[in-house]
Chain A
Amino acid sequence: MEAGTITPAGERGTALHRSPAARLPDRILKWGLTALSVGVIVLIAYFFVRLVIESEPVFKQVGVAHFLFSADWVPSKNLYGALPLLVGTLITSVIALLLGIPVAVATALYITELSPRRIRGPLTVVVDLLAAVPSVVYGLWGFFFLIPKLQPAERWFADTFSFIPFVGGMVTGPNYFIAGLILAIMILPIASAISREVISTVPREHKEAALALGATRWEMIRMSVLPYARGGIAGGAMLGLGRAIGETIAVTLVIGNAPVIGHTIFQQGYTLSAVIANEFGEAASDPLHRAALIAAGLVLFVLTLGVNAVARAFVVRAERGRRATHTPSGMAA
């Protein structure tokens, strides 16, 4: 029975019949809230439409394909090719995923399955505290502390493993890798929280079955927990990805702000969000430049839309799979 379908007894015309006047507050509430919700839809739609309209001048000037795939971003010459920005956004986000998700899943596994019960609470709080650090602090810490401390290690890595594509070569201070690392730390709390939630819903019977068959703890996790939680974890990863794509301040402080496509992960680049932060001020009276920055914002918006859609697909599929295999615990023999 769903709350939305319960009707108060009065409306069925039984003994508690209420006059229309008495039902007025209910009606006001319902229509008021409906209007509010519709209003929110209108607001977001306006937001999107406004972005599209304001970005039109640059698309008219250079064309959508050129904007997305040309590599020259030189506002002073009216050249607006956002490919280096797009590539930078994608590279840093992928690095963030590769570094952050395994760690997030590991913390989730440790907290729910492997850790002693007593430290579970405090450990959860500490991991969640990572989300309390504002992005400007992450960026500054990355710039003043991480970059100098990691540079020797990066150089060693680039020299030792130069045969791996995109690794060997020049190492600059601010680079894609540091940006990706900072982003990984930033998405850790979200991904960990969601993974924890999903892992804790794995039915006990599945886990007990594996253990009963003689599996070690790790084998049980690998056989029962991870496959079951896979969809939810992927959904959480996508949400983290969405956050990483849009992160601005932390990234602009550690990525080098060079509108070029770096050849290795240890070289500098630029992202869609960083370019907006750096150039919006001077675009105040240049309509074309302003349109280009809004277009960059629009691309960001579309990217996160796509990522969220994928995340939702993962979660829905996981949800469905879970409902199919789940037997209510009351019914277990």
Chain B
Amino acid sequence: MSSIAFEPISARRRRVDKLARGSVALLTAAALVPLVLILYYLVKQGIGAISIDFFTTDPTGSFLGDPGGIKSAIVGTVLMVGLAAVVAVPVGVGVAIWLVEFGRGSKLAHTVRYFIDVMTGVPSIVFGLFVYITLVLAGVGGSSFAGWKGSVALGLLMLPIVTRSAEVVLLLVPNSLREAAYALGAPRWRTVFRVVLPTALPGIVTGVLLSIARAAGETAPLLFTAAVVNATAFNYNDRMNSLPALIFQNVGQAQDRLVTIAWGAALTLVAMILILTLIARMIQRRSRLS
């Protein structure tokens, strides 16, 4: 701290400095408290349900007998989020590629970016409502509630996240790489798929994993579209269980064991999302572009 030509720092200023820095540190600690409390609460309530059977049997709904596990919820979440990702990721990355490689600066690109921004802000429940009105009530596909309709709602949620994060990463790819490829005579498509995308891949994967983590935890869209069932379903046109929906529905059941299952499911869901998030962060940190 240089104070050669100027007045030494007064005691009052020193006090203010200490106080302010202390407050900032305190607030930061305060920000961590909820996380610790929630994790502790989850483990306390849900750990009793965890067992091998918990993950490999379906819930039975039985009040008097064995309540079963959460297998159908895990499978349903994986299947529905998986389908949503299979559609949303290529579309999202495709739009991002277009924005960066082909349409940059054009009026159309501005419009597209604006619409994607709009989409980012739409609450998930409005997506669920939209799918409910257009697909469920209308009985599209011969079914009312169906797993694929849940995927549509989740896909709508994931699309803007994937597009935005992919766009940011693609913009970070140095132009020199592109120029080098063109100088060597590579056509546009080869440059994109062999040079730009591989370079941006870790960043894109991070964005995709984060959007998957977000979609896996969403309840509201699934309430309206996929319904809650006990049996494991592999047919997308059937109703599918999902972890958030199972938690939401079972946590108030008039049967202690079913409640514990709900908390166990909550613990499982948080663990899954935490792992995905950590993997995403690890990939991001190792990426050359971060």
Is A–B contact present in the complex under a CB 8 A cutoff?
A: yes
A residues near B (Cβ < 8 Å) are 1-10, 16, 18, 22-23, 25-26, 28-30, 32-34, 36-38, 40-41, 44-45, 47, 50-51, 54, 102-104, 106-107, 109-111, 114-115, 123, 125-138, 140-141, 144-145, 185, 188, 192, 211-214, 216-219, 221, 242, 245-249, 273, 276-277, 280, 284, 290, 293-294, 297, 300-301, 304-305, 307-308, 312
Are B175 and A9 closer than 8 Å at their CB atoms?
A: no
Asked if B247 and A137 sit within 8 Å, CB to CB, the answer is: yes
Q: Are A242 and B121 in contact (CB under 8 A)?
A: yes
Q: Give B19's nearest chain A residue, CB to CB.
A: A218
Instruction: Evaluate whether A114 and B25 lie within 8 angstroms (CB atoms) in the complex, with A2-B105, A132-B273, A249-B248 already known.
Output: yes
Check if B126 sits within 8 Å of A300, measured CB to CB: yes
- Check if B175 sits within 8 Å of A4, measured CB to CB: no
User: Which of chain A's residues has its CB closest to B173's CB?
Assistant: A3
A132 near B213: Cβ-Cβ < 8 Å = yes
Residues in B neighbouring A242, C-beta threshold 8 A = 121
Asked if B238 lies at the interface with its beta carbon under 8 angstroms from chain A, I say no
B121: chain A residues within 8 A (beta carbon): 242, 246, 304-305, 307-308
Known A-B contacts A276-B129, A280-B224; A4 and B6 likewise in contact (beta carbons under 8 Å): no
A44-B115, A135-B217, A297-B130 known, 16 other contacts, Cβ within 8 Å? A4-B100, A32-B94, A33-B94, A37-B99, A38-B112, A40-B115, A104-B31, A110-B25, A126-B32, A134-B244, A141-B37, A212-B2, A218-B16, A218-B21, A273-B123, A290-B133
Contact of B224 with A132 in the complex, beta carbons under 8 Å: no
On whether the beta carbons of B269 and A134 are closer than 8 Å, the reply is yes
Tell me the interface secondary structure of chain A in the complex: helix
Question: Judging by beta carbons under 8 Å apart, are A29 and B273 in contact?
Answer: no
B73 touches A (CB below 8 Å): no
Contact A277 B277 (CB under 8 A): no
Closest to A138 in B: B38
Residue of A nearest to B125 (CB): A248
Contact of B37 among A40, A145, A221 (CB under 8 A): A145
Q: Is the CB of A4 within 8 A of B105?
A: yes
Question: B157 CB to closest chain A CB, in angstroms?
Answer: 11
Instruction: Report whether A141 and B41 are in contact in the complex, using a CB–CB cutoff of 8 Å.
Output: yes
What band does the interface of chain B fall in when counting residues whose beta carbon is under 8 Å from A? 35 or more
Tell me the bound Cα distance from A312 to B3 in angstroms.
41
CA separation between A141 and B16, bound complex, in Å? Answer: 37
On whether the beta carbons of B91 and A40 are closer than 8 Å, the reply is yes
Residues on the A chain within 8 Å of B118, using CB: 44, 305, 308
What residues on A are CB-neighbors of B14 within 8 Å?
216
Q: Residue of B at shortest CB range from A222?
A: B20
Cβ of A227 to closest chain B Cβ, rounded Å: 16
Give the interface segment out of B51-59, B63-71, B177-185: B177-185
14 contacts between A and B (CB under 8 A): A26-B189, A33-B98, A51-B130, A54-B133, A110-B24, A123-B28, A134-B273, A136-B244, A214-B3, A219-B16, A276-B129, A297-B130, A308-B117, A308-B118
**0/1 string, B75-90, CB within 8 A of A gives 1:** 0000000000000000
B98 to chain A, nearest CB (A): 4
Q: Once bound together, how far apart are the Cα atoms of A106 and B41, in whole Å?
A: 26
Whether B1 lies near A214 (C-beta < 8 A) is yes
Complex Cα distance, B129 from A290, in Å, reads: 10
- What are the 3 A-B residue pairs with the smallest beta carbon separation, nearest first? A246-B123, A134-B217, A4-B104
- Asked if B23 CB lies within 8 Å of chain A CBs, one says yes
Query: Which of A115, A140, A192, A290 is within 8 Å of B266, CB to CB?
Result: A140
Where the two chains meet, the residues of B that have a C-beta atom closer than 8 Å to any C-beta of A are 1-3, 6-7, 9, 13-14, 16-17, 20-21, 23-25, 27-28, 30-32, 34-35, 37-38, 41-42, 91, 94-95, 97-106, 108, 111-112, 115-126, 129-130, 132-134, 137, 156, 159, 163, 173, 175, 178-179, 182-183, 185-189, 191-192, 213, 216-220, 223-224, 244, 247-248, 251, 266, 269-270, 273-274, 276-278, 281
- A13 → B minimal CB distance (Å): 14
Cross-chain contact B134 with A50 (CB below 8 angstroms): yes
- In-complex Cβ contact of B112 among A40, A115, A217, A277 (8 A): A40
Taken together as a complex, chains A and B put the C-alpha atoms of A185 and B269 apart, in Å, by 19
The answer to whether B102 and A103 have CB atoms under 8 Å apart is: no
Please, which residues of chain B bring their CB within 8 A of the CB of A277? 125, 220, 223
Interface contact B216-A134, CB-CB below 8 Å: yes
Query: In the assembled complex, how far is the CB of residue A294 from the closest CB belonging to chain B, in whole angstroms?
Result: 6
Contact between B31 and A127 (Cβ–Cβ < 8 Å)?
Answer: yes
Q: How far is the CA of A131 from the CA of B129 in the complex (A)?
A: 24
**A37-B28 contact in complex given A25-B189, A136-B247, A214-B9, C-beta closer than 8 Å:** no
In the complex, chain B residues whose CB is within 8 Å of the CB of A221: 20
Using Cβ atoms and an 8 Å threshold, which residues of chain A touch B274? 129, 132
CA A124 – CA B82 in complex, angstroms?
A: 28
Q: Nearest residue in B to A125 (C-beta to C-beta)? A: B281
Given A3-B178, A136-B248: A297 in contact with B129 (beta carbons within 8 A): yes
Tell me how far the C-beta of B116 lies from the nearest C-beta in chain A, rounded to whole angstroms. Answer: 7
Of the residues A130, A145, A248, contact of B124 by C-beta under 8 Å: A248
Instruction: Give min CB distance, A283 to chain B, whole Å.
Output: 10
Give B123's nearest chain A residue, CB to CB.
A246
